[in-house]
Structure 1
């Protein structure tokens, strides 16, 4: 009898500890409201201020699609003279991973400071041999939130960012992962589509700071000096701010950015995202936008093209409500569309690592770039149109007639969507 009592008390203690840890780590999720009549390209100071950053002018942006991105990345790493900082969520051993590792190893042997930050969960398949070779060559390789007692309260918090910073003078941000499936040109189900940006100009300091945030958190090291934060002159004429902060007593800034952009749109919102599971307040904001006359379209992979069909089924749960709101939904069946892009009114873009779901907006460490540039928005809208031509637009009446098994999957997987 006594053992049962002690066992019951122990169970209660464990449950209480779990609840306490969850409540401490849980981010606040307020219902966001926006009342503004200005156009989004006039609101960059407001957008950057609300997201705890500063918009900086004088930047240059180049768009890189699909597997061609890696040739540019590897070439720029190979040209590094002082430092290479690389951060990613997903790295699996393979042809691409070994090429990247060799590029980093070569730079480390040339006395370049190489720092590599990998998410411990997403990059668990990087390979012990690859990790050992990089470390033996002098690369500093660290894993974000490894499974350990000291990380018990943050094991669900993952580093989903994709950042590379070369000599503190140029940077790459986007959706590309280090997996062989990202090679090629999205020509079939085995080769994925993605978009990343190459940046030069003062914005690179912000991206170096974003890398430093998690690097310092894992290692305690603060790097300084002109080799990592050099004086940066204007390289172009594009206004950008980086969004990545997760304040403890407010919504994460990537959520604030995307929600605000939806609320101030006046002409159109075009979204490309692989995992589109908007929260109820976002669905309401989309509906309000349509009633203002905004053309709202979302392009995503179908279950046949996705690398995780469960996520697509979870997203399906909200399709009927979105369609009734007037949102146009397009599913691409041929391969995974992994780009994370939103354009507004043909003048503003958000590009980065963030999915359009609870996990990215509430839990993960993410990075998005808020960019005011008409030419870039047109380029990104062109990518949308290219894939939309081969996509299937979902029609409300046909969607309502889908089978009971499909509906059951949609509702079941929606309950688990924050775990994906």
Structure 2
């Protein structure tokens, strides 16, 4: 028999790889944004949680932590852990903050506490390898989400973008903070970012623990049970919360359904703070419909000069004119990156978490967003909007139409890549 030419074997390999990629891609239908209700959103928590494959649980407390103060509280609580520390994040880069987190984890591991650390393999690719080795030597379990391999080739674009921590199964942190030195300080200059996370107590902590368990089990196969991770949690407050994080097959991820559904249900106000705001056509239509209902719709985001990814902001510019023509008010903050992912609807319901308002977060990444029903927390998020909004520039429609040709070329070119930015 004659030996097959090399190109034949290469063709078989290429076909096999393509089939593997196609097999592993998560396809789903996007939600049709025509949902409506006469009920105010403060009566729709069961609907919002049910649509996002979750359950709203009452009896919680929420503390809002901004900027570098978040890590002061987080590390204090980590060092107080008695049984377990579960930590999950996207970015981890060498620096002062990484060293402080390392020391806190080592301290607990030496005290006999079980420490599980889940890092995204792409976002944390620059982590000090010696640091990882030392963490493991001291007893910390460190795993990386979707490391490059033939097994993961079809999901390498699927990143773990969640930022959360659960301590002793009794308290949890969720938000946008990453482990890089830009998250220290108080957003006082272009080198220090603004962000918001929340510190949670009450029954909702079980849901956050479940979100961590989902990806931990996916990477390690390890399950954990018992009072040290899922203790009985009594009511400690009066705030209802639900957690959206599930990604079902052939249906839109829970975070996408949540963010899109509330646009349709607002009666008075939609205030959005998001660092990467690239809404799809259907979301723009829902925002326009909200304005026609008399809803005050505002979006606060970093300007290209303040963003850590100017290309993303330029991609968002593609639809600015369309949104402004429909009455959506847009604000850009030029001084530093505003990384908080917050929404407030009708001054009573609000959302916080890791989810950006773009296709990567809605369709591809693993994310988590909390829906919180509480006027006090909503008011704090509105105050954060107003704090940065005072130094932001509101984009004016007529001036925007006259922006330069080069600017428009950048906007349209960047938008071509919006699915993967």
Same fold by TM-score greater than 0.5: yes
Partner secondary structure for residue 73 of structure 1? helix
- In structure 1, the partner of 2:215 is 214
CA RMSD of aligned residues (A): 1.6
- In structure 2, the partner of 1:363 is 364
Partner secondary structure for residue 63 of structure 2? strand
- In structure 2, the partner of 1:346 is 347
- In structure 1, the partner of 2:7 is 7
**Can you list the C-alpha shifts for 1:280-320, whole angstroms capped at 9, x where unaligned?**
10000000000000000000000110011010001011111
- In structure 2, the partner of 1:224 is 225
**Can you list the C-alpha shifts for 1:378-397, whole angstroms capped at 9, x where unaligned?**
01000000000000000111
- In structure 2, the partner of 1:122 is 123
- In structure 2, the partner of 1:328 is 329
Partner secondary structure for residue 150 of structure 1? coil
Partner secondary structure for residue 148 of structure 1? coil
**Can you list the C-alpha shifts for 1:130-153, whole angstroms capped at 9, x where unaligned?**
111111110000000000111111
- In structure 1, the partner of 2:108 is 107
Question: 1:391 aligned to 2:410?
Answer: no
Spell out the pairing of 1:189-208 with structure 2 (5 A cutoff).
189-208=190-209
Distance 1:311 1:217 in 2: 30
When normalised by structure 1's length, the TM-score is: 0.97
Partner secondary structure for residue 165 of structure 1? strand
Distance 1:416 1:29 in 2: 20
Partner secondary structure for residue 28 of structure 2? coil
Distance 2:153 2:393 in 1: 43
Distance 1:3 1:288 in 2: 65
Question: 1:260 aligned to 2:285?
Answer: no
| Aligned-residue offset at 1:154 | 1.0
Contact 2:29 2:250 in 1 (8 A): no
- In structure 2, the partner of 1:251 is 252
Q: Which runs of 5+ in 1 are unaligned?
A: none
Distance 1:286 1:12 in 2: 48
| Aligned-residue offset at 1:5 | 7.9
- In structure 1, the partner of 2:18 is 18
Partner secondary structure for residue 287 of structure 2? helix
Question: 1:56 aligned to 2:57?
Answer: yes
- In structure 2, the partner of 1:379 is 380
Partner secondary structure for residue 298 of structure 2? strand
| Aligned-residue offset at 1:14 | 2.2
Question: 1:28 aligned to 2:5?
Answer: no
| Aligned-residue offset at 1:31 | 3.9
Distance 2:240 2:344 in 1: 15
Distance 1:81 1:129 in 2: 26
Distance 1:16 1:222 in 2: 33
| Aligned-residue offset at 1:17 | 4.5
**Can you list the C-alpha shifts for 1:319-371, whole angstroms capped at 9, x where unaligned?**
11111111000000000000000010000001000000000000000000001
**Can you list the C-alpha shifts for 1:246-265, whole angstroms capped at 9, x where unaligned?**
00120000000011100000
**Can you list the C-alpha shifts for 1:93-121, whole angstroms capped at 9, x where unaligned?**
11000100110011001000000000000
| Aligned-residue offset at 1:15 | 5.1
Number of residue equivalences: 419
Relative to structure 1, the CA distance from residue 398 to residue 8 in structure 2 (aligned partners, 3 Å threshold; closer, same or farther) is: farther
- In structure 2, the partner of 1:295 is 296
| Aligned-residue offset at 1:21 | 2.4
- In structure 2, the partner of 1:308 is 309
